[in-house]
Structure 1
Amino acid sequence: MADRGRGGGGGRGRGYGGGGSGGYQGGRGSGGGYQGGNNPGGGRGGGGGYQGGGGNFQGGRGGGGGFRGGGGAHGGGGSRASQYPGAFFSPPTGIPQPDDRVATLENQWIATQGGQLPAQLTAQMGKMKISGSGSGSAISINSDKLPIRPAFGSKGQAVHLWANYFALNVNPKPLWKYTVNVSKVDKERSKTKEKRSDEPEVRGRKLFKIIDLALKSFGPNVTLASEFKQQVVSLEKLKLPEGNEIVVELADTSRPEKWVVKFHDPENGHPDIDALLKYLKTMKDVGNEEQFPKFASEIDALNIILGHTPRVDSNSASIGSSRFFATDAARIDSAAQKQGSVVEILRGYFQSIRPATGRLLLNANVTHGVFRRPGNLGQILQDFGLAWIHQVPSAEQDQAARIRQYNAQLKNFTKFLSLVRVQVTIPAHGKKPKQVAIKTAIGFCTDRDGRDKAGKPIQGGERPPRFQPCPEHFMYRGPSMARFYFGRPTPKDPAAAVPPPPAPLQYDTEVTIQAYYRAKYSFQVNVGLPLVNVGRRERPVYVPAELVEILPGQAFKTRLTPSEQDSMITFACRAAPDNAQSVTTKAREVLHLNNNPLLARFGITVDKSLITVVGRELPPPTLAHTGAGGTTVPTTPSGGGWLMRDVKIAQAGRRISKWNYLYFTQTVPRDNAMAFVGFMSRNMGIGIEANPMIAAGLRAANSESGVKTAMNHLAKSGAQLVIVYLPDKDATRYNIIKEQGDCALGIHTVCITDKTFEKRGQAGYWANVALKVNLKFGGANHKIYNDTTLIGKGKTMVVGYDVTHPTNLTPGASDNGPSIAGLVASINKDLSQWPGKVWGMKSNTEMLDATLKEAIKERLRLWQKQPANAKALPANIIIFRDGVSEGQFQLVLDKELPEIRDACADVYPPTIPKPRITLVVSVKRHQTRFYPTDGAHATKSKSPKEGTVVDRGVTSVRLWDFFLQAHVSLQGTARPAHYSVLLDEIFRADYGREAADALEKLTHDMCYMYGRATKAVSICPPAYYADIICTRARAHNSALFDGSDTASIVSTAKPGTDQPGTNQVALKSNIHDRLADTMYYI
């Protein structure tokens, strides 16, 4: 409600201004509202400001109008305080203005550097030539690579936004940065030096402890920081022993281990923080102007320092280099535990230092992580009903299916237990009290322990355990089912007597774990629980599960169940003001940004308040659809989307003369299928035969063979489209359907899920599915109305490509799963059709090679084949490369751009000019967020409005980049996409100082051209489609990614094998020729 306090001398002002004396943040003076003038947010007259003197969002006591008060002498007269009462982040210190010093430096730099570009570029373009051939040919225009920003964008309505950045203040001091490596000392020593072990590389928590012990050896007076993997930063040169090696002893293992930590002096000198700060104040690099990223070593050193304290916090957990989570009861922030779940979902905080124009910034954001559920392992197993292993050996034949299921459940649970840190309790016995030890579990006890793949005892090892036989190839064992050799101990003193064994055990016999614990510890183990192995497979060490505690804060890479996914989404979905509040309060606590002695010694402080920046709201494009009588009519989006009530798709694809429907339930969905097809024809304008080929459709058995049989039957009858009715979202069934349709048989398929249909309603759901159908058959769902831009001239092809990597597999499995590269390209000026190509690559390979060249050649020839292009090749190619980090920008230019150039050289005849290329990197997985400062520039979800673009304040003026939030976030905090220009031969040459506006407009307009939605999307379609086509390839080749024992990449058909001379890996399934040049993947 409006503020009831008396206001003074207020004009009525529009928008959110109105009544009371009081300035913008509650000052005493009279004055306008938030922006003054006629803009939303305040009137011109001397009236209440945004918050009015002493008031608040819902109206407070004292002078000042309400948040939406309409003005007047008493500050009343306004409507309800706000449609989002108390919604927007506004700390007690108020909302600061964007830093004028930064804006001044940005403007000066553009005036002196950016202003020179158009003339230079014109001269260079006239001299442009292709040099060389084969690999590495390139157009030699140096200024086109990592081009200087031509200007800042100016189009759209200006708006002030919060950004999730704190200003970072550094008093530069000399730094020493060392790299370290760790190796184990063998049991045997030589006379002069420690002998290295051949054991595998140490990692994780163990590596942390080893490096931590080495750092503590320097004493408390030496200021150090580390990420506890490879690097150490200090304020002074370290006094190291001869050889720069420190030997430490790790005592919390079963046998004390000695490790050597070797320190290496930095190869490239010391991090020069002073030089970094001077660069940011001038943005002039006295070194290599084309080198990027700038001052990477200095930024890395500062990140190590900022991350050290939260990393050594025993009540925190970290994931990667930048994400931190509180795990203690007082600070932990977790989602409600799902029954039957082994995961815990925590809210934590991300931090990373970013160099921006004129200053260093600390990017801080809310993040979420999946962790192993902590607690007693025995209890967790009982909660899952897995405590009956002792019944397996004597099970009857009719229990075979139950035993196989139990084996599968334990096998799946092993993913949770693999390489997890546990606390093992050793019960008290005799005069020895109860003890605890930290161990690493590798899984459950299995009948393969201590043996090789052939089942023979491992040579040179101890006597392997023996196991009670079990039916149905059941591989796991419990305390009463595993025996180990109980040998006579050898005293350290040969003269000492051997202590007697605990009764009734005898030396040199085989005993069960159950009998051993009963005799030695008087402990009755739970024989229904599987044993836990805290040793190695070749030399197992078994512990009863009820004596094992899963320690908190252990990240878990796993594929979440649908229930867990829902929990994650619900927990992570928070409005922008809530996240802003967390970043400025809880994040600072978890990240130790307040009163941190280590930061103080390094001369670092972090401002308390988030910064504000200037953004702009771009208007949406006008779209073209088909109206009455087949005419083209304009559609103006509103609120980031549009309705198709009175219009149809812009252009229908190929007519669908043969279709049918497939289902798995007893109920025949004929009426639904007929109604849906009628809807596509009548309401959407899609050309499709009214009746199916088989009136009753086809029912498939719910199995792989059942799906293949049904799909083969439909293929033989000539079906072009199969509508598949699914009872649920089972991924395995879906993958089989898509592999059969897209790869084996060449039939387009669309899947309709019964539950989703019921939830979303008939018309809306059908419309979305119909959009997919039209795209698959070559249609255009919407176009840009009267497009006169670069794209509308019909001479520009747009390309998007991405590489996705295997994730959430069991440890080691991701080393086998291939990475998948996907590339799509437009085929005409409408930007409606994006056929693509996918291929496999060696696991976790990001940079593309010669296969990219062939893919580009295919896309160019497909463009040339289109009738609308009259056999011409594109004059321009705009490329959106998805998903590479700033540290990989130069690799894209050095490795991938030459392949693209070579493709053009192969396809374009000598008489035709080679195409101009602009290469833009698009990134959606970043941590920058913007929050509204007032309701006039916010959506109902309290995020910035659609079309918000930010290209200054948090960027570097030297690099041409911008953030664009094209979409409306229906819930949660909207994430903008980040675009960085790596190469530009088009926009600066054609648009001069307006190049930034032209690129931002093109990118924004394209976000409305995503074919399967009637709303703007968050990332431009070429990048979006490239990601989708990779996802579909993963479905086609799911056996390569499921992480199971049988998902090996070996076959006579050579799926997963390397291709000579490239990073390419053959996939198991390839797209059928009939669908190869279509949007089958949509």
Structure 2
Amino acid sequence: MGKMKISGSPSGGGPPVNADKFPIRSAFGNGGRRVTLWTNYFALNVDPKPTWKYSLEVSKHGVDAASEGKGTGAGAAKAGKVAGAAKAPQPEVKSKKRFKIIELALKELLKLQDPNIRLASEFKQQVISSKKLKLPKDNVVVVQLADASRPELWDVKIFEQENGHPDLSALVEYLKTMKDAGNEEQFPKFAAEIDALNVVLSHTTRADPDCASVGSSRFFATNAERIESMPLGESGAQILRGYFQSVRPATRRLLLNANATYGVFRRPGNVGKLLEDFGMARMMEVPFETCEATKDNGIKFFNEDTIKVYDSQLKTLGKNLRHAPLQVKIPKHGNRQEQKVFMTAAGFCTIRDGGDKRNKPIPGEIRPLFHKCKLDNGFDYRNPDGVSFFLKKPEQKSRSDTVPPPPPGLQYDTHVSVRNHFRKKYGFDPNLNLPVINVGKPERPNYVPAELVEIERDQPIKTRLSGTDQRAIISFACRKPQENAQSIMTKARDLLRLNDNPFLKSFGVEVGEGLVTVEGRELSPPTLSHRDHNNDFVDTTPTDGGWRMTGRKVAKQGSRISKWNYLYFVQDPRGSILAFVEFMATKMDIDIDKKPMSPSGIKLGRSGTTVEKAMANLAVAGAQLVIVYLPSKDTATYNNIKELGDCVHGIHTVCVTHKIDPRDNVEGYYTSVGLKVNLKFGGASHVMKKDTTIIGEGKTMVVGYDVTHPTNLGLGAGDNAPSIAALVASVDKDLSQWPGSVWAMRATEEMLDEQLQKHFKKRLVHWRTQAANAKALPGNIIIFRDGVSEGQFKQVLDKELPLIRAACTEMYPPKMQPKITLVVSVKRHQTRFYPTDVEHATKSGSPKEGTVVDRGVTSVRYWDFFLQAHASIQGTARPAHYTVLLDEIFRASYGKKAADALEKLTHDMCYMYGRATRAVSICPPAYYADLLCTRARAHNAGLFEGVDAPGGAAPQKPGATPAKTVPEGSATGGPAPLGSTPQKGPWGSSTPTKVGPSGATLAEAAPEEKKKAIELLRIVHRRLENFMYYV
């Protein structure tokens, strides 16, 4: 295994000359009570037979794949032309079409081979063969792909990769010896071989037409006999339970990790039926007495509150329809039989159709006209009566060509309503209760009645879910650990074809039957200290991962809060607010004045003032804290308040709900919010009684940093939003205060940029200013890097570590550089553990809090461990996974006990999360960095919400309707021009963050504006930058 290279001392003196990257594990940990656990892995037996790997390239017949660009297509087939059809760019080959092309090509390729040859593929870009292949002429297989309208010829080029032989023998040998001479810093090891095994293991399931695959490792049954699903009421989607699998190397063996997984899919079937199930007809049948008359010719519309609810729901459905693969039924007409053509949805017909991204006219294009209709009750959307497209006369391609006459009763070169078009041409009368579906593009629409559109099955979707749907998913996914383990042993093995599969055996692969058992250890919780009524420190011993603060005060008061006030929207919560403040002052000993700045707070809303005005006035009056009483959970209002408090005025804010009512059992709620208040003002919730780790020496700073990318924002939302990086650091040995820095990066960048150096230096400067540190810099720095995959570990060392070193070089004398240990913390992984004995289980059935596993499913060569520090209340507990990328501290200080020291430190820190009275699942530096990223997204909600309008006002409609049938800015859903002064709801602006002089949102902005957009990230007010405002 090679010699360990350790030098230097634990408390400064410069970094070791031969410090290890990817350090060798000095020894396994031994601390704690031993326990035997099952884990969700199966033994993987591999007979290392020779295998071959080939690459695949797909292109249109006769077009070289390397030079093929995005050509143009003719839109729908001639037979399938529907309202407003227009030419559109040909999309690149991917997804289901690519799958089908490669599937056909492999069948043709097998015809050239010996009968016993087997092929495995992920149906994207590679194929694994059990023997060397005989390739066709020019290495190209030509296949014909046909749907109901037209055949297509495609070329699939097959070529052997330069290193085309995955060396399974070398992989098996490495696992036995753990020696890979000359490649010690390569990570992960044998990636090509592991990838080949994953392709082989997933091929049978992926080729199953009754199974949907998502990514490289997740599979969902979709046929009626095996599907595990639940409809989601507010998004028009459904949640499916499926199963994950991935090959993992461990000490002296290979393992197959399998777990239950969940995915959101479009609900398949007829779109008209889906909308009717959703309640469209009910929306249209709201009696007029519930509506308000307008000055616009006496036509009546839904009132503002009704519009807000229905428009939000329709907007969600429309977004989730975008990019959906569809089958469109073309009714029988003339001599043509009924046909079904494959198309892609752009969403519902809206009054913005036919314009560019800024809703400007497109040269050479004639926009649709929009009319008042049954669906025009304040919505953007139009039914078949509410939109007319331009029926252009077909061009005569040659003199002998005959231009077909227009459908009876229609004329060329005029605008025709979708309803009239389908009635006259097809004899089909559309449902006027339903919006029209655009199967073209927003800028070149192609309209079809909803009843003629079918959503294909097996379509995963990335969308922002409502709170109701999120709770439904949690309920569906939350199962007892034993239920999950049982389904992995039965349903997962069936779906993934792991039982006696001849195809796997042909590649020399077999999967063991039972779950693997591993050895774990249960670590004891640390003893915490609070203050009692005499201000003496008293011991608090956690039980079942938590503790109560009854009879206990915070360990350290924050700065005095002498000026505070509260805001509310409806009913004055004065009694509840004062009871809460009284509790903080007397029970928790938080240093806050018991009286607000004004006796009755400040009312917001229609009869009151806006939150902007209220916060501005409070800032002038010197308010330090504002408590905001929200009548219900409202993300947009919350974001607005945090932006105003944190960034604009530099005032700490806390939002509370009806749970603050003193008639309820409020001690837990009061404590939770009170802890946040104390942290915001520099206090400490609790401290370690006697810290025996390296932290207790007072010379070690702990850092956490993370990057969040603009994912899961819904289709069309935040398409060009920036990534957000956040860095937090401790300020002393108490590990109570974690101020931080935040900045924006380009969404395409995975690793942190040069700003890491600047912000790391800021944290060092702040450490030095603390009285407890006597103006000294830390001798040790322990860093927890969150949110990177194993494939990025080496990039962290190669790209981010040098920036951290550079920051230290600026701050320290040349020969006094700090020692650094860098650990990656990962929460999003698929490893789970199950108790084999009820004595070692929590009430929920998960392992006990403090369970650590560093063998069995880990590698002896690398230093990693799993830690479940928390007690899971429900569902199956997910441990955090920690991997040491660099160590200059622990092995030098603790030698063979280094693993125990790091595990204990990490475990103890999980009890130091200041917002809770329970241990948390991942160490606080990583947790706080994630919180800071989340807060930065709240400050800049407009960058991540696309064109959605937050707040309580009716959504704005940028753009212009060319028909001029609706007055601009009217209550009917007419447009307000981009860049105009936005209307405001009762608590502020109703529009998202704008970028550039055009006033467009980031999703709409021109390229030059997008380049500058990441510079517009809201920055926290300098008054709060060294406080934990984000908790």
1:965-976 paired onto structure 2 within 5 Å: 965-976=868-879
Q: Corresponding residue for 1:1081?
A: 1030
Change (3 A) 1:722 1:513: closer
User: Does residue 1:616 correspond to 2:521, yes or no?
Assistant: yes
Q: Corresponding residue for 1:1051?
A: 996
CA-CA distance at 1:955 after TM superposition: 0.4
Q: d(CA) in 2 for partners of 1:449 and 1:725?
A: 40
227, 241, 263: which one aligns with 2:158: 263
User: Does residue 1:417 correspond to 2:324, yes or no?
Assistant: no
User: Does residue 1:763 correspond to 2:667, yes or no?
Assistant: yes
CA-CA distance at 1:1054 after TM superposition: 13
User: Does residue 1:744 correspond to 2:648, yes or no?
Assistant: yes
SS in 2 for 1:798: strand
User: Does residue 1:383 correspond to 2:383, yes or no?
Assistant: no
Change (3 A) 1:1065 1:449: closer
Change (3 A) 1:203 1:774: same
Q: Corresponding residue for 1:357?
A: 251
CA-CA distance at 1:172 after TM superposition: 1.9
Which letter maps to 1:869? N
Q: d(CA) in 1 for partners of 2:197 and 2:811?
A: 48
Which letter maps to 2:168? I
SS in 2 for 1:1000: helix
User: Does residue 1:630 correspond to 2:544, yes or no?
Assistant: no
Conserved? CA contact 2:268–2:455, under 8 Å: yes
Conserved? CA contact 1:621–1:784, under 8 Å: yes
Change (3 A) 1:831 1:524: same
Q: d(CA) in 2 for partners of 1:994 and 1:409?
A: 57
Which letter maps to 1:883? G
Conserved? CA contact 1:350–1:365, under 8 Å: yes
1:959-970 paired onto structure 2 within 5 Å: 959-970=862-873
Which letter maps to 2:177? T
85, 99, 109: which one aligns with 1:218: 109
Conserved? CA contact 1:389–1:477, under 8 Å: no
User: Does residue 1:369 correspond to 2:263, yes or no?
Assistant: yes
737, 740, 743: which one aligns with 1:839: 743
CA-CA distance at 1:998 after TM superposition: 0.3
The total of aligned residue pairs comes to 948
Q: d(CA) in 1 for partners of 2:161 and 2:938?
A: 45
Q: What's the CA shift string for 1:428-483, capped at 9, x where partnerless?
A: 4567554333332222334555555688886677x776655778996544333334
Conserved? CA contact 1:180–1:263, under 8 Å: yes
Which letter maps to 1:175? T
Q: What's the CA shift string for 1:638-692, capped at 9, x where partnerless?
A: 11111222322111111211122221122x2222222212211211121111222
Q: Corresponding residue for 1:1066?
A: 1015
Q: What's the CA shift string for 1:1018-1044, capped at 9, x where partnerless?
A: 000000000001101111110110122
Which letter maps to 2:6? L
Q: Corresponding residue for 2:301?
A: 399
Q: Corresponding residue for 1:889?
A: 793
Q: d(CA) in 2 for partners of 1:702 and 1:263?
A: 67
Q: d(CA) in 2 for partners of 1:642 and 1:766?
A: 15
1:854-893 paired onto structure 2 within 5 Å: 854-893=758-797
CA-CA distance at 1:162 after TM superposition: 0.4
User: Does residue 1:307 correspond to 2:256, yes or no?
Assistant: no
Q: Corresponding residue for 1:82?
A: none
SS in 2 for 1:903: helix
Conserved? CA contact 1:704–1:733, under 8 Å: no
User: Does residue 1:793 correspond to 2:687, yes or no?
Assistant: no
Q: d(CA) in 2 for partners of 1:1035 and 1:704?
A: 25
Conserved? CA contact 1:534–1:541, under 8 Å: yes
Q: Comparing 999-1008 with 378-387, which one deviates more in the overlay?
A: 378-387
Q: Comparing 1032-1041 with 446-455, which one deviates more in the overlay?
A: 446-455
Change (3 A) 1:913 1:550: same
1:386-535 paired onto structure 2 within 5 Å: 386=280, 396-399=298-301, 410-429=314-333, 433-446=337-350, 449=353, 452=356, 468=371, 476-480=381-385, 481-485=387-391, 487=393, 503=408, 511-535=416-440
SS in 2 for 1:792: helix
Conserved? CA contact 2:319–2:716, under 8 Å: no
TM-score, normalised by the number of residues in structure 1: 0.82
CA-CA distance at 1:510 after TM superposition: 6.1
Q: Corresponding residue for 1:167?
A: 43
CA-CA distance at 1:699 after TM superposition: 1.5
Q: d(CA) in 2 for partners of 1:794 and 1:573?
A: 42
CA-CA distance at 1:285 after TM superposition: 1.3
SS in 2 for 1:944: coil
Q: d(CA) in 2 for partners of 1:665 and 1:126?
A: 58
SS in 2 for 1:684: coil
CA-CA distance at 1:799 after TM superposition: 0.2
Which letter maps to 2:58? V
Q: Comparing 685-694 with 722-731, which one deviates more in the overlay?
A: 685-694
470, 474, 481: which one aligns with 1:565: 470
CA-CA distance at 1:822 after TM superposition: 0.6
Change (3 A) 1:472 1:935: closer
SS in 1 for 2:894: helix
Which letter maps to 2:557? A
Which letter maps to 1:342? G
Task: Name structure 1 gaps, 5 residues minimum.
Answer: 1-111, 131-138
Which letter maps to 1:236? K
Task: Name structure 2 gaps, 5 residues minimum.
Answer: 73-89, 289-293, 949-990
Q: Corresponding residue for 1:1001?
A: 904
CA-CA distance at 1:598 after TM superposition: 2.6
Change (3 A) 1:267 1:1067: farther
Conserved? CA contact 2:280–2:434, under 8 Å: yes
Conserved? CA contact 1:246–1:261, under 8 Å: yes
Conserved? CA contact 1:486–1:511, under 8 Å: no
CA-CA distance at 1:521 after TM superposition: 3.9
Which letter maps to 2:995? V
Q: What's the CA shift string for 1:162-214, capped at 9, x where partnerless?
A: 0000111122222222233333458xx89xx9998474533322222232232
Q: Corresponding residue for 2:837?
A: 934
Q: Kindly, what percent of the aligned residue pairs are identical?
A: 59
Greater relative contact order (CA < 8 Å, ≥ 6 in sequence)? 2
Which letter maps to 2:271? L
Q: Corresponding residue for 1:947?
A: 850
114, 121, 129: which one aligns with 2:6: 121
Q: d(CA) in 1 for partners of 2:456 and 2:70?
A: 31
Q: Corresponding residue for 1:986?
A: 889
RMSD: 3.4
Change (3 A) 1:745 1:467: closer
Which letter maps to 1:334? S
Which letter maps to 2:479? R
Which letter maps to 1:482? S
Q: Corresponding residue for 1:648?
A: 553
Q: What's the CA shift string for 1:890-913, capped at 9, x where partnerless?
A: 000000000000000001134x61
Q: What's the CA shift string for 1:316-338, capped at 9, x where partnerless?
A: 22222111111111111123x35
Change (3 A) 1:279 1:935: same
Which letter maps to 1:380? L
Q: What's the CA shift string for 1:868-898, capped at 9, x where partnerless?
A: 1000000000000001111101000000000
Which letter maps to 1:1075? L
Change (3 A) 1:516 1:238: farther
Q: Corresponding residue for 1:345?
A: 239
Which letter maps to 2:184? E
Conserved? CA contact 1:353–1:362, under 8 Å: yes
Q: Corresponding residue for 2:583?
A: 679
Q: Corresponding residue for 1:914?
A: 817
Which letter maps to 1:144? D
Q: d(CA) in 1 for partners of 2:358 and 2:20?
A: 61
User: Does residue 1:545 correspond to 2:421, yes or no?
Assistant: no
Q: Corresponding residue for 1:94?
A: none
Q: d(CA) in 2 for partners of 1:201 and 1:680?
A: 60
1:635-714 paired onto structure 2 within 5 Å: 635-666=540-571, 668-701=572-605, 706-714=610-618
Q: Corresponding residue for 1:735?
A: 639
Q: What's the CA shift string for 1:1008-1064, capped at 9, x where partnerless?
A: 11101111110000000000011011111101101227757623699989999x999
Q: d(CA) in 2 for partners of 1:194 and 1:920?
A: 44
CA-CA distance at 1:263 after TM superposition: 3.2
User: Does residue 1:147 correspond to 2:23, yes or no?
Assistant: yes
CA-CA distance at 1:519 after TM superposition: 4.2
Q: d(CA) in 2 for partners of 1:396 and 1:383?
A: 31
1:53-68 paired onto structure 2 within 5 Å: none
